[in-house]
Copies of this chain bind each other. A is one copy, B any other.
Amino acid sequence: MRPRAFDEEQALDAAMRVFWEKGYEAASLTELTQRMDIRKPSLYATFGDKRELFERALKRYTERHAAYVEQVLEREDQTIPAFAGLLRDTAAGGSGGDPALGCLAVLTLDELGAAEPDLAAQALDHQLRLAALFRRKIEKGIGSGELSRELDAEASAGAVLVSLIGLTVMLKAKPPSAFIDAAIATTLTLLKEEKR
């Protein structure tokens, strides 16, 4: 049997990038095959139809993004500097290199929330997994004494996640950097101490 002439992982990476840049609808088979450097029959034989390809690309994205977020959070031992790093890195382009790239999971929620509930659920799962990462980091901060013992780790994690999502959306256009900086700084105060 003849072996395939392209690397499947590499092609999937290219597809992920196209979907990331354009979204599901606007990513045409023409552009996908060009950027993946394969022809349509190879694509369909290897990945199935466009929707299945997207599903795999999204899964790949969420895995990589979760790993990226986890790594950034672990770069700093202290909790607040860690989140400061995450938010600032995201505002500076994050794992994609361009602040206006945004997040594929967020785009999926937004673009396909109504038409493709399964894909939206997959994207939502990713966000909830990020929230769980956040929670663990916050709990670590509480345990070490850095953060107040009154802090609700679960709720704070959710609020920070929601802010991160909102931030990535705004970064799709070019908001004043003062706005972004202030929003980040204020979001971080969520971790500073518990008020009622």
Q: Which residues of B contact A196 (CB under 8 A)?
A: 189, 192
Q: Which 8 A-B pairs have the closest CB atoms?
A: A113-B172, A166-B166, A162-B166, A165-B166, A124-B173, A159-B186, A155-B182, A25-B25
Chain A residues at the B interface, C-beta cutoff of 8 Å: 21-23, 25-26, 100-102, 106-107, 109-111, 113-115, 117, 120-121, 123-124, 127-128, 131, 152, 154-156, 158-159, 161-167, 169-170, 172-175, 179, 182-183, 185-187, 189-190, 192-196
Interchain CB contact (< 8 A) of A172 among B109, B175, B185: B109
In the assembled complex, how far is the CB of residue A182 from the closest CB belonging to chain B, in whole angstroms? 4
Residue from A154, A163, A185, A195 having most chain B Cβ neighbours under 10 A: A163
